[in-house]
Structure 1
Amino acid sequence: MDTYARFPISLTRGRGVWVWDSNGKRYLDCVAGIAVCTLGHSDGRLKRALSRQLGKLQHVSNLYRIPEQEELAAAITASSCLDRVFFCNSGAEANEAAIKLARKHGHTVRGIATGDGKAPLILTAQASFHGRTLAAVTATGQPKYHQGFEPMVQGFRYFPYNDTAAFEALLATCEVEGPRVAAVLLEPIQGEGGVHPGNRAFFRRVRELCDAHNILLIFDEVQIGVGRSGQLWGYEQLGVEPDAITLAKGLGGGIPIGALAVKASVDHFRPGEHASTFGGNPFACRAGLTVLAELERRDLLSHVQRMGALLQELLAQLVSRHPTLLEGVRGWGLLQGLVLREEAPSAPDIVKAAMGQGLLLVPAGPRVVRFVPPLVIQPRHLRLAVDRLERALLSRGR
């Protein structure tokens, strides 16, 4: 079906940070499947681990215990502030699970009754992105994603990201007649919405108010989780602990997997209330286990911190060389956004021009070019990427 505005190339193979198209042209991949290919393409250890797993068992029903799933859940909880994990197949599914959990929290803990047009409310940020299913796209605070799919799911309200006063005012308005808010769902850093890092003071205040009202604080870490920020989990950049996080993308290194990880105190699901046929099967969990093990074995968190700082420096130098076209750079680790001025070509135009230079990038809205390369990228690759980006910028900026 015609759901993608695809570029006219067919990618057929990859190795490390490089991919090749069907004509044999090589591209430096700073997209990584949009923050998915954590270890790069065709990683040797991931290939061997998955091959061994296929030789044993690839899928069984969640009606039975799955050792690989239990091991992956233990790895996630041992390295985070969370205690229990539900596995699914994607970020949207993980956010759907979080939305269901939030509604149950609203009913059973906050005592929010339905009827008379009322329902438990979930507060999310403007310019957010939480997925394409109906509830997840409603949670997304961007009207362009809602158009044509109305009516949206009831029970969501929006406020400007990082705006403490606006959040406090919205919460007060929602709670004026008694408990109405079940959860706050936020990205620690907005990716699709333009690469906007979370403000620590804002997130601390949200945590304080959620504690005061017994409201769930859920972080959507689908894009920033699993090491991309230079910390294993995005919430570590903010100095606050959420009640739950959602994961996907980089967790499987290219194999579809999603997860909702929660603190034990907010694990309200009971048998039969939520499920996933494929979620957490042995094959997907082996991928997740391998990714987490390789992050530690290769000390990739320190590497991402160094590469993120270098990428920011190189992009800042690019901004200084082209101040009429470029406004600045923002991000964490290996999620960085180059902000274009209104006078510059659009981000999609720059991305297309970069492809002609043998560089793959992805827009984050109309005025931001996003870098989300594999976490194994090296300094020489980053310098080459910025050099190719500059040539692309000049070819479109004349």
Structure 2
Amino acid sequence: MSLFPTYNRFPFTIESGEGTVVRDDHGKEYLDFVSGIAVCNLGHRPSVVKKAIQDQMERVWHVSNLYQIPIQKEAAQLLTEAAGLDYAFFCNSGAEANEAAIKLARKHTGKDKIITFQQSFHGRTFATMSATGQEKVQEGFGALLPTFEHLPFNDTDAVLELNDDSVAAIMVEVVQGEGGVVEAEESFLQAIENKCAELGALLIIDEVQTGAGRTGTPFAFQHYGLSPDIITSAKGLGSGFPVGAMAGKAYLSESFSAGSHGSTFGGNPLSSAAVKATLSTIFNDQFLHEVNEKSSYFMKQLKENLENVQGVAEVRGKGLMIGIEVDEQAIDYVHKLREKGLLAVLAGPKVVRLLPPLTVSYEELDQAAEMLQTTLSKQSANLKL
């Protein structure tokens, strides 16, 4: 073997894909409701992104951030305007975006502590692993960074009781993805925003999985009327190109001056072309309206089809980010769905997560709903034997 065994890979290879459909190395077709874990928001090989990348490849691929990159500025403008923020920094992943946010918050405030929440996921670098509220991510790596504190998610009282002037920022996901597709309560988020103002701390919202239209708005925080100081994004930004971004308010720019942070590959011409084409498509009122229509349609089907299925505890989600909580180990359901022709992913041990492309058709949603009902009903019956 030439690869470290860091992944529990499924026993098949995806050889090709277009839109919502992928094919394995034996020619079998699947509906892909994983989308590279919320990455392929426009489906596989979207023509608008493919053309933008091909056009850029005919000019220049990489120059580093030593030089002006006009298309990077164009991508940044799309991102910041949609988020209601002012400046962006491009990097290569969600973890790097969160690292940048942590560094900026500490540098700007001159304080050290970052508050995050139990069951959160912010990345696998040392800072973002320390920020993550899941022991399974942290086990075996020795002492974590000491300046992170994890409060219970959706516990408004715990936020209200915070009284610590050393807090630089509170970082939160408005929908916990890896933590089980759990939506934050509006009162909880409002308490966080108010507490940040009280403590002179920054509000950081991790939109790595929820951004780029996944929940039916450009960014998920916009469902709740929040005004974050910083957001982070990645996954769906580049339709499969590795790219992450941190965006923030204008007053923070003085703390990220030349030489304070950087990235060799971040926002290079190819990735910026992918971002510009992706966001130009998604950040469109009609496109997002259709995402919300599809979400309502699919959630209604799932709740009706699965409400009487033994072993299904709850169907929940926001936009096209959906979790089905089951009583048994969810991996058994994921394997059976794959055999049936539907790709799904876990969100913790007992949640089947569905992340279809935002371009999924109603016919494909119907097919997925039927496969889910049949497979979950059968698997539940088998597990009870």
Structure 2 distance, partners of 1:295, 1:100, is: 29
SS in 2 for 1:7: coil
Determine the structure 2 residue equivalent to 1:56.
Answer: 59
Deviations 1:131-153 (A, max 9, x none): 11111111000111110012111
Residue 204 (structure 1) shift: 1.1
Deviations 1:152-191 (A, max 9, x none): 112000111111101222x22xx2xxx2100000001101
**1:231 counterpart (211, 217, 236):** 217
Structure 2 distance, partners of 1:124, 1:43, is: 35
Question: Is the deviation greater in 263-272 or in 331-340?
Answer: 263-272
Structure 1 distance, partners of 2:48, 2:182, is: 34
Identity of aligned residues (%): 44
1:355 maps to 2:355: no
Structure 1 distance, partners of 2:340, 2:119, is: 30
1:165 maps to 2:157: yes
Question: Is the deviation greater in 15-24 or in 38-47?
Answer: 38-47
AA partner of residue 287 (structure 2)? L
Determine the structure 2 residue equivalent to 1:117.
Answer: none
AA partner of residue 271 (structure 1)? A
**2:38 counterpart (12, 35, 59):** 35
Determine the structure 1 residue equivalent to 2:185.
Answer: 199
Residue 296 (structure 1) shift: 4.4
Q: Which runs of structure 2 are paired with 1:165-314 in the superposition (5 Å)?
A: 165-169=157-161, 171-172=162-163, 175=164, 179-267=165-253, 268-296=255-283, 299-314=286-301
Q: Conserved in 1, the CA contact under 8 Å of 2:159 and 2:191?
A: no
Residue 391 (structure 1) shift: 2.5
1:93 maps to 2:96: yes
Residue 299 (structure 1) shift: 2.5
Q: Conserved in 2, the CA contact under 8 Å of 1:319 and 1:327?
A: no
Residue 295 (structure 1) shift: 1.8
Determine the structure 2 residue equivalent to 1:116.
Answer: none
Residue 297 (structure 1) shift: 5.7
Q: Conserved in 1, the CA contact under 8 Å of 2:13 and 2:25?
A: yes
Question: Is the deviation greater in 265-274 or in 244-253?
Answer: 265-274
SS in 1 for 2:83: coil
SS in 1 for 2:22: strand
AA partner of residue 367 (structure 2)? L
1:137 maps to 2:129: yes
Determine the structure 2 residue equivalent to 1:371.
Answer: 354
1:82 maps to 2:68: no
Structure 1 distance, partners of 2:45, 2:379, is: 33
Deviations 1:25-55 (A, max 9, x none): 0000000000000110121111111111100
Q: Conserved in 2, the CA contact under 8 Å of 1:326 and 1:338?
A: yes
Structure 2 distance, partners of 1:318, 1:6, is: 30
AA partner of residue 21 (structure 1)? D
Structure 1 distance, partners of 2:92, 2:283, is: 24
Structure 1 distance, partners of 2:284, 2:128, is: 35
1:126 maps to 2:154: no
**2:109 counterpart (99, 106, 109):** 106
Residue 319 (structure 1) shift: 2.5
Structure 2 distance, partners of 1:39, 1:77, is: 20
CA pair 339-206 structure 1, distance change in 2 beyond 3 A: same
* Structure 2 stretches lacking a partner, 5+ long: none
Q: Conserved in 1, the CA contact under 8 Å of 2:329 and 2:350?
A: yes
SS in 1 for 2:67: coil
Q: Conserved in 1, the CA contact under 8 Å of 2:205 and 2:230?
A: yes
Per the normalisation by structure 2, the TM-score is 0.96
Deviations 1:213-252 (A, max 9, x none): 2100000000001101100111101111100000100010
Q: Conserved in 2, the CA contact under 8 Å of 1:106 and 1:180?
A: no
AA partner of residue 63 (structure 1)? L
AA partner of residue 149 (structure 1)? F
Determine the structure 2 residue equivalent to 1:153.
Answer: 145
SS in 2 for 1:79: helix
Structure 1 distance, partners of 2:266, 2:274, is: 13
Deviations 1:82-108 (A, max 9, x none): 10000000000000111111211231x
SS in 1 for 2:116: strand
SS in 2 for 1:193: coil
Q: Conserved in 1, the CA contact under 8 Å of 2:336 and 2:379?
A: yes
Determine the structure 1 residue equivalent to 2:315.
Answer: 329
Question: Is the deviation greater in 264-273 or in 49-58?
Answer: 264-273
**Equivalent residue pairs, number:** 377
Q: Where in structure 1 do 4 or more consecutive aligned residues deviate above 6 Å?
A: none
Determine the structure 2 residue equivalent to 1:71.
Answer: 74
Structure 2 distance, partners of 1:298, 1:388, is: 31
Q: Conserved in 1, the CA contact under 8 Å of 2:117 and 2:151?
A: yes
AA partner of residue 262 (structure 1)? G
Q: Conserved in 2, the CA contact under 8 Å of 1:198 and 1:238?
A: no
RMSD: 1.2
